[in-house]
Chains A and B, each alone.
Chain A
Amino acid sequence: MLKIRIIPCLDVDAGRVVKGINFLSLRDAGDPVEQAKAYSDEGADEITFLDITATHQKRKPMIDVISKTAEKCFVPLTVGGGVKNIIGIKEFLLAGADKVSINSAAIKNPSLINESSKKFGNQCIVVAIDAKKKSKNWNVFINGGRVDTGIDAVSWAKNIEKRGAGEILLTSMDKDGTKSGFDLELTSKISSAVNIPVIASGGVGCLKDFFDGVKLGGASAVLAASVFHFKELTIKQVKKYLKSKNINVRIDNLGKYYEK
């Protein structure tokens, strides 16, 4: 059976892991390469890097981080942040990313989704949605949560799928960093609206939140940052818990084989 993926996310700023609350007030949380390696050894099913304050000058450390991580982690690596065009996607892929996540650029130029998924394969293109509740619906925000596009998140998700993206990384801006659980209503709306995998992100604070994201939100994968960075929970703990709740997760004990 296909397993639910547990994905630690590293928000990277100029080559360091940082973590904010509601997309603001960043705290330093360590070296990304070391952390990614530790996570994959501990059983992370994938690793995600988001360059959260991507500007041109900061691109260089990000490329280094990707390529060093790719040499040490043998699980899929998704990279995102500041990707503007096909060339930017290719840069990340050449450095060793397996998937590239695009956000603002996809809103500004939706045909980038079509072109890139055709060129690199659907599985390679993740479209990230940063959504914030507006009365009854959710609006899509871009530029790291700074600009409200006025676009409805559910209809954008359907559009993304139609254009050929392989996956949606859905972050609730209302929940991000609050540790009060995923926005389950949002997650479940998006996840049932599309037929591609949805990664739930933003808000995990405790074990039950992971379970709810899968069971009530219908997510194919759950992503978390601070609970893992600050060692409040370990990936092993999360997987053990989910397994006890009859959620299919990958638990193997093959680690000894390569630990030398």
Chain B
Amino acid sequence: MKNVLIIDYGTGNLKSVHNAVKKVSEKQDCRIFVSSSIEDLKKSTHIILPGVGAFESCLNGLIKTKARSYLEEMVLEKKKPFLGICVGMQMLATKGFENGEFDGLDWISGEVKKINNQNNNLKIPHMGWNTLKFLKETAFTKSLLKKMKVTNLHDLSAYFVHSYNFKNKNTNEKVITTCYGEEITAMISKENIIGTQFHPEKSHYFGLAFLKTFLEQR
């Protein structure tokens, strides 16, 4: 039995994430909770932190739920599979620089900085489907690619919409990147923690396969 918790902290496209998780867990023994209650957090087997909006307001929203210490216990101590999406990944950083300088959760060392618009030659936000570059093979990516039965990695793309880039410190935690004027961190991974800048819930078949792979993590 899986208990998937989608953390509700007053922001984010929860419905889309919920719909996509529901789709990939159709034939499984799986319950989905959209909540920030400590009780639901404690019984969760998989935790998803969605994120849409500004760094600071998302972080404040999360802090207001009072679930932070329980969340850290579940993820950092009990090592439950965790997926942060978009700002939900950015919040894991040491610091964020969106409309000021703010402390993040500091689960993954790095800073979140505005994408360089290359002297106004790039439209910001970085919005749309962009090609993924797999930097290394992990157990996760292996299982993901097997699921999609693809051998050619050049044609995979995912849906992005963001103006800030997670510049993580340890390059070995970076798994997928994409390019938009600069190198954009698309997926990071550290032990049981996964973060994606792209939106798997909006990345059609690739995104569904990604979420399915996440649900298989233990």
User: Does B162 have its Cβ within 8 Å of any Cβ on chain A?
Assistant: yes
Q: Could you mark each residue 199-217 of chain B with 1 if its beta carbon is under 8 Å from any beta carbon of chain A, else 0? A: 1011111111100000000
Nearest B-chain residue to A220, judged by Cβ: B123
Is B163 in contact with A254, judged by CB distance below 8 angstroms?
no
Chain A interface extent, by class: 35 or more
Is A74 in contact with B128, judged by CB distance below 8 angstroms?
no
Contact partner of A254 (CB less than 8 A), chosen from B123, B124, B150, B162, is B150
Q: Could you mark each residue 249-260 of chain A with 1 if its beta carbon is under 8 Å from any beta carbon of chain B, else 0? A: 011111111100
Is B128 in contact with A3, judged by CB distance below 8 angstroms?
yes
Docked Cα-Cα span, A167 to B179, in Å, equals: 20
A1-B179, A74-B204 are contacts. A123–B162 as well, Cβ < 8 Å?
Answer: yes
Contact partner of B205 (CB less than 8 A), chosen from A4, A120, A166, A255, is A255
Docked Cα-Cα span, A254 to B54, in Å, equals: 33
A38 to chain B, nearest CB (A): 13
Q: Could you mark each residue 1-25 of chain A with 1 if its beta carbon is under 8 Å from any beta carbon of chain B, else 0? A: 1111100000000000000000000
Question: Within A102-125, which residues are at the interface with B (CB < 8 Å)?
Answer: 118-124
Which residues of A sit under 8 angstroms from B157, Cβ to Cβ? Answer: 3, 250, 252
A121-B53, A254-B206 are contacts. A3–B130 as well, Cβ < 8 Å?
Answer: yes
Interface residues in chain B, defined as those with a beta carbon under 8 Å from any beta carbon in chain A: 13, 15-16, 19-20, 22-23, 52-54, 117, 120, 122-131, 147-150, 155-157, 159, 161-163, 179-180, 199, 201-209
16 sample A-B contacts, Cβ–Cβ < 8 Å, listed by A number = A2-B128, A2-B129, A5-B128, A67-B15, A70-B15, A76-B199, A95-B15, A96-B16, A96-B19, A121-B53, A123-B127, A123-B162, A195-B122, A196-B125, A197-B125, A252-B155
Nearest 3 A-B pairs (CB), nearest first?
A254-B205, A121-B53, A123-B161
Interface residues in chain A, defined as those with a beta carbon under 8 Å from any beta carbon in chain B: 1-5, 40, 45, 67, 70-71, 74-76, 93-96, 98, 118-124, 166-167, 195-197, 220-221, 250-258
